[in-house]
Chains A and B, each alone.
Chain A
Amino acid sequence: MKLKLDKKNFEDFLKSLIEGYDLFAPVQLTEGVSVFKKIDNPGEVSLSQLVPQKSAKEVFFPQSEVMFRYQIAGNQGPTVSEQKIERERILLGARPCDIEAIAIIEKVFVGEDYTDVYFLEKRKKTTIITLSCNHPLTTCFCSSTGGSPFRREGSDLFLTDLGESYLVELLTEKGKTFSKNRFFKEAGSKEAGLLKEIEEKASKKADGSVPVEGIEKRLDLMVESPFWDRIHEKCISCGVCTFLCPTCHCFDITDEATHLNGERVRNWDSCLFPIYSLETSGHNPRPTGRERTRQRLMHKFNYYPKNFGRVACVGCGRCILYCPVQFDIREALVYASAKRGKGRKGKFK
C-alpha cells in the first residue's frame, strides 16, 4: 500500500508519534554533526545529513548502558536490572544502511545459544521508519555490500522524499498499524512515478564497484600476508572508524561505584586500541597495529561472514568520511583483491 505524507504536516505527524511512543531520530548538534537522540520536540529532528555522524545502532546499543544497579551495603543489597523498556519506540529517519547494520548486530546479540536481553528488548519494542537515500554520497558504497539506497528489508515503514511530500510504504504488520494514521493520504500515480524515477537515479549513484564479493575466500589466504604490514602503517589507532561503524558491536563491562552503591555498565570498545586485548599479565595477543588492523578488517570481511554468511559492512562510508588519516576501506578492499605483485604494489597509500 502506498501513501503520502505532506511535508507541511510532518511536524504534526512527529508530534503525534511522540504522544504514543519514545521517538528516536537524527538531531543536528552542530553544523555537519547529527546523531540519533530521543526527541522531545518535533523541531529538533533534522533529516538533512544523509549519514548522521553516529549511526542508529545507538538506539539499540547505547555507547554507555547501565545493565543493573545495586547497593553495596554488606554486599546484600538488591540488584535492579535496567533491561525493561517501558514505552514502545520509533526509530525514524535512519537510512537503509543503518537498518541493515542493526540486523547484522542482531545476528550476534540474539544467538541460538545466548541472547543479549538489553538489545533484544529494545529491538522488539521499536518500529522502524526508514528514509531512503535519494542522493548517495561519494563515500557511499552500499551497492557493493549487498544493500542499496532503497533497501527496504528490516524497515516497518519506508519514506521517500518526493520534494513536497514523503511517499510512505507500509512494509510489515507493525507498519500496517499506521494505515489509518490521520496524516497519511493515499498516493496517486504521480507519486508512484516520481518514486520510480528517484529510486533508479539513486541506485546508479551508490558505488557498486568495490570488490566485496569473494573477499572472505581471498582473506582466508592472507592471514600472514605482508599486506597487513603495509596497510596498518598510517592508522593511528584512534578507533573512530569502529565507534562510528554501524556494525561494530564490541563492548567492555565495568563497575562504576561508590562505597554505598554502584552500577554495572557496558561501554563501546574498539579492537584498534592497544589496551583492548592487553591482558593483566602484560601479554598482548595483538601487540602491534598490524594485528589490530587485521582484526578490524578480517572481522568484517572474513570472520563474521564465516559465522553468519555475509560481510559485516553496509557501505555507509562513515569510516572513510571521518578517518583523520584518510584510511579508505574501499582502497584496502581493492588492494586485497589485486593480483599479487601487480596491482598491489603502490596502490595502497
Chain B
Amino acid sequence: MILKKAEIETSDRLLRTLELGFKNKEDEESFRFIPGQFCELSILGKGEAPFGIASSPIEKTALKFTINKAGVVTTALHQIGAGSEIGIRGPLGNGYPIDFFEGKNLLVIGGGFAFTTLRSLVAYYLHPKNRTKVKQITVVYGARMPGLLLYKDELLEWEKRDDIKLVTTVDWGDKDWKGRVGLVPNVLEEIEPSSENTCAVICGPPIMIKFTFPKLVALRFPNERIFTSLEKRMKCGIGKCGRCNIGHLYVCKDGPVFSYAQLEKLPKDY
C-alpha cells in the first residue's frame, strides 16, 4: 500500500489517520471487506500490528486507519510521509454481523480512539445505497476531552442529518464544549435508548465496555443483541500464534466482534 494522505486527528497529536492506496489494481479489486474487520499493517524494520479498518467498504478509493502512537510500529506509522510504502495483510476477522443488523435499529456506542471500526459501520449505513438496510441509527460517542474526539468534521455532518441521532459526550469539557459531560455508560442511562428491535454495538476501552454491558442489560437489551469488538495483543491474525484467545475462541479469527451472549460463556480474559 502507498500512503496517500495523513492527518492528525486529536489535540494530543497521538492519533493520526492514514489514507492508503493500493499499489496494484488487482489487489484493489479483490480486496473486499465488511465493517469491523481489521488488517495487519507492516513497516519493514519495525514490525507489524493489527488495526481496525476505519473506512467503509463503500469508499472505494482508499483504506483508512487511525493509529494511536504508542509503540514501535505505531510511532513509525506516525513518522512516515506521503508516498511511503506500507505492508498489509487482510482483511482479517469476522466483522460486524451486518446480515443480523438488517431491518433493525442500531445503537452504536463508542469510546475514545476505538471509534474507528464504528465509524466504518456508520459510514457504511449512511451511504444512500445502504441507508434502508437498518432503521434508526443512534450514535453515542465519548472521549476524555473534546479535542480527543475522532473524525470531527464528519461528526458535524452527522449532527446536521436527520436520519441519524448523534450524542457526543466528554469526561471534561472546555469553554467551547456545548455537548454533554459524563461517562458513556452514565449518558446511556440518561438518554435511555429503546431496546426494541435494536442491536447495540460497543467499542471502546475495556473499562468502558465492562460498565456499559450492565447498563444495556438494564435497558432490556438481550445478550444476543449486544455486540462488541475486542482487541488483544495479536500477532499472526489467523489463529496460529495463540496470543489472542479468550477461552477456545480467537479474537483474530473468531472475532474481533463477539456478542455479549458469547462472551458470557467465556473466561473474562479481555
Spell out A's residues near B (CB within 8 Å). 70, 72, 75-77, 79, 108-109, 111, 113-114, 116, 223-224, 249-255, 257, 259, 262, 264, 266, 269, 271, 276-281, 283, 285-286, 291, 294-295, 298-299, 302-304, 306-307
Interface readout for B226-264 with A: 1 if CB under 8 Å, 0 if not? 000001110110111111011110000100000000000
Q: Chain B residues with Cβ under 8 A from A224's Cβ?
A: 267
B20-71 with Cβ < 8 A to chain A: 44-48, 70-71
Contact status B44-A75, CB under 8 Å: yes
Contact status A262-B240, CB under 8 Å: no
Instruction: Confirm or deny: B84 has a beta carbon within 8 angstroms of a beta carbon on chain A.
Output: yes
Contact status A276-B243, CB under 8 Å: yes
Q: A255-B47, A285-B232, A303-B245 are in contact. Are A114 and B70 (CB under 8 A)?
A: no
Inter-chain CA distance A280–B241, complex, in Å, is 18
Q: Chain B residues with Cβ under 8 A from A294's Cβ?
A: 267
Q: Chain B residues with Cβ under 8 A from A111's Cβ?
A: 239-240
Q: Chain A residues with Cβ under 8 A from B235's Cβ?
A: 251-253
Contact status A249-B242, CB under 8 Å: yes
Contact status B241-A252, CB under 8 Å: yes
Contact status B243-A269, CB under 8 Å: yes
Inter-chain CA distance A279–B207, complex, in Å, is 14
Contact status A250-B44, CB under 8 Å: no
Does more than half of chain B's interface fall in helix, strand or loop, or is it mixed? loop
CB distance from A321 to the nearest CB of B (A): 23
Q: A111-B239, A250-B242, A251-B241 are in contact. Are A257 and B267 (CB under 8 A)?
A: no
Total interface residues on B, CB under 8 Å, equals: 31
Contact status B239-A253, CB under 8 Å: no
Q: Chain B residues with Cβ under 8 A from A72's Cβ?
A: 44-45
Contact status B233-A257, CB under 8 Å: no
Q: Chain A residues with Cβ under 8 A from B74's Cβ?
A: 280
CB distance from B178 to the nearest CB of A (A): 30
Closest to A286 in B: B269
Instruction: Confirm or deny: B193 has a beta carbon within 8 angstroms of a beta carbon on chain A.
Output: no
B47-101 with Cβ < 8 A to chain A: 47-48, 70-71, 74, 84-85
Q: A75-B84, A75-B85 are in contact. Are A70 and B44 (CB under 8 A)?
A: yes
Contact status B238-A283, CB under 8 Å: no
B147-181 with Cβ < 8 A to chain A: none
Q: Chain A residues with Cβ under 8 A from B85's Cβ?
A: 75-76
Contact status A285-B269, CB under 8 Å: yes
Inter-chain CA distance A251–B238, complex, in Å, is 13
Closest to B47 in A: A255
Instruction: Confirm or deny: B205 has a beta carbon within 8 angstroms of a beta carbon on chain A.
Output: yes
Contact status B269-A113, CB under 8 Å: no
Inter-chain CA distance A291–B266, complex, in Å, is 13
Closest to A252 in B: B235
**19 chain-A/chain-B pairs, Cβ below 8 angstroms:** A72-B45, A75-B85, A79-B44, A113-B239, A116-B240, A251-B236, A252-B235, A252-B241, A253-B235, A253-B241, A257-B44, A266-B241, A279-B231, A283-B205, A285-B232, A285-B269, A294-B267, A303-B245, A306-B248
